Amino acid sequence: MTEQPYEYRRRELVEPDWRRLPGWREVTREQWENPQWQRVNCVKNVKQLRAVLGDLVDEKFHADLEADQQQRATMSMLLPPQMLNTMVPDRVPDTDSFYADPVRNYMLPVLSDRRLDWPSHPYATRDSLHEHDMWVAEGLTHRYPTKVLAELLSTCPQYCGHCTRMDLVGNSTPVVDKLRLTLKPVDRQDAHIEYLKTHPGVRDVVVSGGDVANVPWKQLESYLMRLLDIETIRDVRLATKALMGLPQHWLQTTVVEGLERVARTAARRGVNLAIHTHVNHVNSVTPLVAKAAQTALDVGVRDVRNQGVLMRGVNATTEDLLDLCFALQGEASILPYYFYMCDMIPNAEHWRVAVWEAQELQHAMMGYLPGYATPRIVCDVPFVGKRWVHMVADYDRERGISYWTKNYRTGIELDDPEALNRKYAYQDPIYTLPEPGQRWWEAQHARHTPGADAAAAASRKAAQREAAEPVGAH
């Protein structure tokens, strides 16, 4: 009998044993499950990583990491022990397995991961989704007609290397000076509530950041209760990667009891309260993550959903995506909802996949999971919003430019009569293009870059040849 392209096997979730790592040999379960212990012991720099890993990983890795932090990283390092413990989860790591690990790949990016030819796409921008341009109050993005994104703060308990909000979220890095929120939290929240009260057409609020796990609980509860007081708000979604990165936060009594009060109020008001989390690899789905999700459901949150990011070297294979979805859906009560294509931020080309690759992955995923739990892969097209990857209107495969249409005006186009007649472009990574397409981009670059000449093109060519080995290979 011919094998199916994907074989489903149920796998029990396992909490990797943190005591396999030299720095945590003496750490007890009680400490591990304590959110304060997790926060205090976050890894924020190479020295702290060395202290946890001891001599398991060669100095060359640490130097590679340090070089990336200095030269390319758009996010500073912040890694809760829970997340670090899901790297090489089933054995004592060594240099090669640590380099090859998918969670390491996006949480601890190193310089040798990045592309040498085009580390950034020429169209990459800091605020690639133009969320800041669409602020109607500080931190409140009104992009879709009926929904808003409310950024309550600009920090998270963990920083992901590919963060699409790298413009605002986290500490400045040597290469990125971050935008700062300037209002006091209470004034920012007042401004959001005022806008929502006066705009009854907005019915859906994604409460985000950053990560809501970093908002002091009392403050978050008060904001949520004020939202629930507005008659026209019908959906509230809490965005927190910490449900996976720091599940201990969502399991502490203050938070569980507070969440229950909010969920009861939402249910009484008939509002859909959900948690949206961000898991990119099956190795991150552990019993503690499942417990945090189940606890939220037990206290009345209507749904816990996952919005992962599709990234080469992390999860961009059918097997990786389906393994993750089955673990979420079957073992952790988390609905596999979306995979976003990695956005066009600086220095992200090695993670990004082309639209045609995303279409192939979407096709390969169909038919295995229950229909309602089959995630959509979406492209967040600048000035458009989320589009399923098969909704592309036109596609120049040679130059890797896809064109998309839209059916609503974003907040900054309300007076633009042509907004719905235009096609909006999205660009594939240049190294995925056929030769003539790559040459076209080189010529464009040479034309638009002062001083770019034949010599520069030649050195780019040399770098390209050097980078010919598959991304992530070491």
Q: Is 241 in the site for ligand SF4 (CB under 6 A)?
A: yes
| CA atoms of 283 and 91, how far apart (whole Å) | 13
* Candidate list 52, 148, 163, 193; residue touching ligand SF4; CB under 6 A: 163
**Least distance to ligand SF4, CB of residue 75, Å:** 6
Written as six digits, the tokens of 115 are 């592309």
Selected from 50, 72, 143, 165, the binder of ligand SF4 by CB under 6 A is 165
Which CB, 138 or 396, lies closer to ligand SF4? 138
- With binding defined as CB under 6 A, does residue 134 bind ligand SF4? no
Q: Which amino acid is at 140?
A: L
Token pair belonging to 225:
């209760």
**Residue 237, interface with ligand SF4 (CB under 6 A)?**
no
**CA–CA distance, 3 with 9 (Å, rounded to integer):** 14
Give ∠ CA 257-259-260 in degrees, rounded to 5.
65
| 221 near ligand SF4 (CB under 6 A) | no
Cα gap 124→128, rounded to integer Å = 7
Residue 363's CB is within 10 A of a number of other CB atoms, namely 13
d(CA 457, CA 334) in angstroms, rounded, equals 48
The neighbouring-strand residues paired with 308 are: 339
Q: In the structure encoding, which two tokens stand for residue 57, read together?
A: 């990983």
Counting every residue written for the chain, the total comes to: 474
**The one among 104, 278, 281, 406 contacting ligand SF4 by CB under 6 A:** 278
Separation between Cα atoms, residue 463 and residue 36, nearest integer Å: 45
210 binds ligand SF4 (CB under 6 A): yes
Report the alpha-carbon distance of residue 173 to residue 164 in Å, rounded: 15
Scanning 153-161, 345-353, 389-397, 414-422 for contacts with ligand SF4 by CB under 6 A, the matching segment is 153-161
Rule CB under 6 A: choose which of 53, 83, 124, 160 binds ligand SF4.
160
Q: Is 305 in the site for ligand SF4 (CB under 6 A)?
A: no
The interface region with ligand SF4, picked from 4-12, 152-160, 393-401, 455-463 by CB under 6 A, is 152-160
Residues 330-359 close enough to bind ligand SF4 by CB under 6 A: none
Residue 114 touching ligand SF4 (CB under 6 A): no
**Min separation Cβ 151 and ligand SF4, Å:** 9
- As a 3-state breakdown, the chain gives helix, strand, coil percent values, each rounded to 5, of 40, 15, 45
CB 325 within 8 A of CB 285: no
Nearer to ligand SF4, 72 or 165 (CB): 165
Among 21-29, 40-48, 163-171, 314-322, the segment contacting ligand SF4 (CB under 6 A): 163-171
**Choice from 49, 111, 150, 156 touching ligand SF4 (CB under 6 A):** 156
Nearer to ligand SF4, 156 or 322 (CB): 156
178 binds ligand SF4 (CB under 6 A): no
Q: Tell me which residue has tokens 């809760």.
A: 80
383 phi-psi bin (left φ>0, alpha ψ -120 to 50, beta other)? left
Instruction: State how far the Cα of 168 lies from the Cα of 151, in Å rounded to an integer.
Output: 10
Q: Is the peptide bond before 371 cis (omega within 30 degrees of 0)?
A: no
Of residues 367 through 406, those in contact with ligand SF4 by CB under 6 A are none
Nearer to ligand SF4, 131 or 211 (CB): 211
The nearer residue to ligand SF4, 56 or 205, going by C-beta atoms, is 205
Classify the phi-psi angles of 130: left when phi > 0, otherwise alpha if psi is within -120 to 50, otherwise beta.
Answer: left
Q: HSE on the CB side for 263, CA within 13 Å?
A: 19
Nearer to ligand SF4, 119 or 161 (CB): 161
Our CB check for ligand SF4 shows the closer of 163 and 348 to be 163
Measured distance CA(87)–CA(258) in Å, rounded: 32
**What is the amino acid identity at position 50?**
R
Decide if residue 249 touches ligand SF4 (CB under 6 A).
no
Interface with ligand SF4 by CB under 6 A: which range of 118-126, 157-165, 285-293, 412-420?
A: 157-165
- Which listed range, 162-170, 288-296, 387-395, 412-420, lies at the site for ligand SF4 (CB under 6 A)? 162-170
For 221, 397, 435, the CA distances from 431, given in Å and listed in that order, are: 46, 12, 9
Q: Return the ∠ at Cα 340 (arms to 296 and 131), rounded to 5°.
A: 90
> How many chain residues interact with ligand SF4 (CB under 6 A)?
11
Question: CA–CA distance from 176 to each of 69, 179, 292, 346, 350 (Å)?
Answer: 11, 9, 34, 10, 19
Give me the least distance between CB of 307 and ligand SF4, in Å please. 9
DSSP state of 4: P
Of the ranges 15-23, 89-97, 161-169, 435-443, which one interacts with ligand SF4 (CB under 6 A)? 161-169
Q: Is 211 in the site for ligand SF4 (CB under 6 A)?
A: yes
* Residue 246 found at the interface with ligand SF4 (CB under 6 A): no
Residue closer to ligand SF4 by CB (options 206, 299) is 206
> Shortest gap between Cβ of 241 and ligand SF4 (angstroms)?
4
Choose the binding region for ligand SF4 from 22-30, 158-166, 406-414, 423-431 (rule: CB under 6 A).
158-166
Which parts of this chain interact with ligand SF4 (CB under 6 A)? 156, 158-160, 163, 165, 169, 210-211, 241, 278
